[in-house]
Copies of this chain bind each other. A is one copy, B any other.
Amino acid sequence: MNDKSYHHGDLAQELRLVAADLIAERGAGGFSLREVARRAGVSHAAPTHHFGDATGLLTAVAIDALRHLHAAVTNAAEGIDDPRRRLVAMGRAYVEASAAHPGHCAVAFRHDLVNETDPSYLEAADAAHGVFFATVAEIAETTAEPLDVGTATSLGWATMQGLVELYSNMEEIGERHGQGSPPPIGTVAEQFAEIIVKGFG
């Protein structure tokens, strides 16, 4: 229970950080357990003890990603009374947090690399989802026609995650069509969110 144990203060924590750095640097495909161990200054098998296998470590990184997203979105929501304006701010915060933690968020929803049935993962995903859900539910009370809150929440989530995934492609296509680069990703997120909120009715 002591904070400092053995060689490192907290090797498990350090491994998660180093892994996220490595993914940010080389992409999820360039990730390697042994390189993580090397950068952390431990032997190649040390991560196994804490995380079982590569999937275990990547799952831990994904959980950290979800917590970062959750924290950023919650923080952005604070103090905004109008639920529509709040949802727009949350969308912006979501994509900006993804950009601020590229290593973490690059693996957050990678079904082939992460064990998405891990209880901690599900819990973290629930928490992040819940923040959006609550705000959409508030909006739903103000719409002319009834709005399915679950569907509407999923829509917002999918849009923001899709934007994170495709923003670089959008830049490329914008320039190829001579439309110039799109605005910063946070601004795009706001534009998207405003159209969606309008579509809620």
Contacts and interface: CB of A to CB of B under 8 A. Distances in A.
A114 to B, nearest CB: 10
Contacts of A26: 112
Contact of A169 (B109, B112, B172, B192): B109
Interface in A158-190: 158-163, 165-166, 168-170, 172-174, 176-177, 179, 182, 188
Given A174-B150, A179-B150, A199-B199, A112 B155 contact: no
Copies in the complex: 2
Nearest to A174: B150
User: Counting chain B CB atoms within 10 Å of each CB, which of A111, A176, A188 scores highest?
Assistant: A111
A120 interface: no
A126 B173 contact: yes
Interface of A: 26-30, 106, 109-113, 116, 122, 125-126, 129, 148, 150-152, 154-155, 157-163, 165-166, 168-170, 172-174, 176-177, 179, 182, 188, 191-192, 195-201
Given A161-B162, A161-B165, A162-B157, A200 B192 contact: no
Nearest to A159: B159
A111 B28 CA distance: 9
Contacts of A170: 154, 157
A64 B106 CA distance: 23
Given A154-B188, A191-B151, A199-B195, A166 B159 contact: no
